[in-house]
Structure 1
């Protein structure tokens, strides 16, 4: 551009799209370099860098590359020893880029919260505790979710209103919204969490009728369908 070339001329010369040329012209160099780094394929060492960095920090830098190599090899690393030594040298030099922590996915965290405590392994319980300590919102959501699960499993409907009040007061927005939705039909929800009667039997019969209809569609008459429904096959 400094030489007076137009976007069209540069695009023709480099066989690029005009939009690509314009993007490189209008984007700051630092942003382009950062974008290129994000698209760079991850090395075989990438999943193990959080562990290496943690071990290096705990040992105050007094740990050998060979030892770290053997440790991550037991954890599934299949790269070379030289790559580990190079990363360790960069750690000692203090020019290693920050590595994103090994954070579990939201789906996994949710499964840990909703599962009974006795169903969690010691490692899962420890990870969930770390997440709770790191995020107050998750801590509050976890406590409320487990309290609501207890209401459902043990039919403690009379305590529902108090749970709604707590959720509306200081819960994360999605959970406070759910509490407000329950309040709109409070009597019915309370009854559902208190009484032993439910619509389960009715829903079962409806599902059975739909199954019969699908099986007989285009093959038999209404009279036969009525007979099969009435004799409860």
Structure 2
């Protein structure tokens, strides 16, 4: 800040201020005696997992207290949490207006880059998203079969003919 004096001058002035204002500070030894609690940061995966949960459902006490501190000190995280919970509720109940949800994210003054990208992707195929929310049908079983076939294909790559791959796929369905 442009101070050109030495350490002694600064220390003397700080001591003078402490005496005149009646404030005290811990000395070095007293500071060392006080334990500083260590809080392990959450990974981005855990943070994403917990953001839509109720704090009561987080089993790990340290994780729960960490999330509580985050929510108390970061109002934008509260907003993200509210939006995530609304989306989860739409998926769970099959009710809700996805277009209003997307519009609330787009109109938000907060910087929500992850949610804005997610909303933009949902908007590209809004009909499919609306059907996924409202209808009880799912393509999960089909995706499971496609995943199984692809993993068999990867195992067989470069080893044998198409006929052997075909037999392995057909036999794996029964077992």
TM-score range, shorter chain: 0.5 to 0.7
- Among 144, 161, 168, the residue aligned to 2:99: 161
Counterpart CA distance in 1 for 2:161 and 2:40 is 58
Cα 1:185–1:218 change in 2 (3 A) is closer
Cα 1:177–1:67 change in 2 (3 A) is closer
2:158 is equivalent to residue 195 of structure 1: no
Residue number in structure 1 paired with 2:162? 222
Contact persistence 1:167–1:176 (CA under 8 A): yes
**Matched residue SS, 2:51:** helix
**Matched residue SS, 1:72:** coil
Contact persistence 1:164–1:179 (CA under 8 A): yes
Spell out the pairing of 1:125-140 with structure 2 (5 A cutoff). 125-140=64-79
After TM superposition, the structure 1 stretch with the greater mean CA deviation from structure 2, 160-169 or 116-125, is 116-125
Contact persistence 2:102–2:119 (CA under 8 A): yes
Counterpart CA distance in 2 for 1:163 and 1:189 is 12
Residues 9-59 of structure 1 show CA distances to partners (whole Å, capped at 9, x for unaligned) of: xxxxxxxxxxxxxxxxxxxxx9xxxxxxxxxxxxxxxxxxxxxxxxxxxxx
Q: Flag the structure with more relative contact order, 1 or 2, with Cα contacts below 8 A and sequence separation at least 6.
A: 2
Q: Root-mean-square deviation (CA), in Å?
A: 3.7
Spell out the pairing of 1:22-37 with structure 2 (5 A cutoff). none
Shift of 1:188: 0.5
Contact persistence 1:158–1:190 (CA under 8 A): no
**Matched residue SS, 1:158:** coil
Cα 1:196–1:128 change in 2 (3 A) is same
Cα 1:106–1:140 change in 2 (3 A) is farther
Unaligned runs of 5+ in 1: 1-29, 31-59, 77-101
TM-score by length of 1: 0.49
Counterpart CA distance in 2 for 1:221 and 1:124 is 52
TM-score by length of 2: 0.62
Residues 73-112 of structure 1 show CA distances to partners (whole Å, capped at 9, x for unaligned) of: 8x68xxxxxxxxxxxxxxxxxxxxxxxxx79467254443
Q: Whose Rg is larger?
A: 1
Unaligned runs of 5+ in 2: 4-23
Contact persistence 2:98–2:130 (CA under 8 A): yes
Shift of 1:215: 2.8
**Matched residue SS, 1:193:** helix
Contact persistence 1:169–1:176 (CA under 8 A): no
Counterpart CA distance in 2 for 1:190 and 1:117 is 29
